[in-house]
Amino acid sequence: MKLTGVELLRVRMPLVAPFRTSFGTQAERELLLLRAVTSEGEGWGECGAMVDPLYSSEYVDGVEHVLRTFLVPTLLAAGDLTANKVAPLLAKFKGHRMAKAALEMAVLDAELRAHGVSFGAALGSTRDSVPCGVSVGIMDTIPKLVDVVGGYLEAGYLRIKLKIEPGWDVEPVRAVRERFGDDVLLQVDANTAYTLSDVPQLQRLDPFELLLIEQPLEEEDVLGHAELAKHIRTPICLDESVVSARSAADAIKLGACRIVNIKPSRVGGYLEARRVHDVCAAHGVPVWCGGMIETGLGRAANVALASLPGFTLPGDTSASDRFYTEDITEPFVLEGGRLPVPSGPGLGVTPIPARLAEVTTAKSWLAS
């Protein structure tokens, strides 16, 4: 297969409601899509990066720049290409994992479509649907939060994740437990908002039997997480800190986490995400699939990944209508708290042309 060109599409979609995390509030999702054109057909990629470098260091304009200047030209010049060659070809460029992940995803999609193989089959799927959780933002009031959580439980979500930050942690958790009971699978995500001086406050979450606390401390503080783990009962799950299979192995060995959130964009692509899964499985560490407010394209690939055997916890693989009134693909619809794993070639979904045109704010074509 030869890569002949890549189209970069800048897309902007309103969210059904603002999504507030410990690092900011988002009312719309602006992201980058890639259409890889190859000698065997085309494939789609989606980049997890947000407009501002607040979740991690990457951001949409930076991704676009590194793709245009370094990553895409390298693959265009590479001659015979397979998805497995993408990461080794791009390895000399440090970092920029979200940019690399999007490009690899587009090449992988093109390759799999050409061979008539689905993402799920290629990655090692063992199920045809996956259990779904939902990530619930920080709200202005506790009654509003309880209302929103009630709506998601009614919709069938099998696990609730509450975004937390100092000042919004024990009380929201208590309110959700009091209203919906101890059987609800409940977890929290701090997006690095705490420090080790918050140990006493984080200990106050212990009685609520949470599934996990996600990324309480900063990204680089793996040893801090190992220290925190000695003082709290809630299992620690790492998100931002795990950027590769190697860093996952290190974190596990150091005792920094008992569970891992796998986001393909954060670790440089679906092929590395599978290696993170394999490393965790080898250590008996449960994993689940994270989310970056994906469109139907990224969602399709995430659902495929989440159908691997080590994904034993429900992921942030919510339905399209969790964030979007109208998706750019056929929507993913919750059925009994689960989403079906697409079975068609490649991602198994494609953008609806008229819908894609509506949300596209800029396009550019890169070719050799």
Q: Report the candidate in 208, 254, 203 with the shortest Cα–Cα distance to residue 231.
A: 203
Tell me whether residue 163 is one of the annotated catalytic residues: yes
By a kind-dependent CB cut-off of 5 to 8 A, residue 192 interacts, out of Mg ion, ligand SMG, none, with none
By a kind-dependent CB cut-off of 5 to 8 A, residue 293 interacts, out of Mg ion, ligand SMG, none, with ligand SMG
Distance of closest approach, residue 13 Cβ to Mg ion, in angstroms: 21
Site string for ligand SMG, 19-58 (x = CB under 6 A): --x----x-----------------------x----x---
Q: Is 120 a binder of ligand SMG (CB under 6 A)?
A: no
Site string for Mg ion, 208-227 (x = CB under 5 A): ------x-------------
Q: Is 135 a binder of ligand SMG (CB under 6 A)?
A: yes
Distance of closest approach, residue 74 Cβ to ligand SMG, in angstroms: 28
Angle at 105 between CA 102 and CA 106, to 5 degrees: 90
Q: Is 316 a binder of ligand SMG (CB under 6 A)?
A: yes
Distance of closest approach, residue 288 Cβ to Mg ion, in angstroms: 11
Residues 283/274, Cβ–Cβ less than 8 Å: no
Spot the catalytic one: 85, 100, 161, 163.
163
> Which position's Cβ is nearest Mg ion?
239
Residues 187/212, Cβ–Cβ less than 8 Å: yes
Tell me whether residue 94 is one of the annotated catalytic residues: no
Question: Taking the mean position of all CA atoms in its chain, how far away is CA 199?
Answer: 27
Q: CA-CA distance, 153 to 130, in Å (whole number)?
A: 17
Q: What are phi and psi of 104, to 5 degrees?
A: -60, -40
Q: What pairing do the DSSP bridges indicate for beta strands 338-340 and 129-131?
A: antiparallel
Residues 178/142, Cβ–Cβ less than 8 Å: no
Q: CA-CA distance, 4 to 284, in Å (whole number)?
A: 42
Token pair, residue 322, equals 């969790």
By a kind-dependent CB cut-off of 5 to 8 A, residue 169 interacts, out of Mg ion, ligand SMG, none, with none
Distance of closest approach, residue 55 Cβ to Mg ion, in angstroms: 8
Q: CA-CA distance, 59 to 26, in Å (whole number)?
A: 14
Q: From 114-122, 142-150, 289-297, 338-346, give the range in contact with ligand SMG by CB under 6 A.
A: 289-297
Rounded to 10°, the helix 296-306/270-282 angle is 30
Distance of closest approach, residue 264 Cβ to Mg ion, in angstroms: 14
Residues acting as catalytic residues: 163, 263
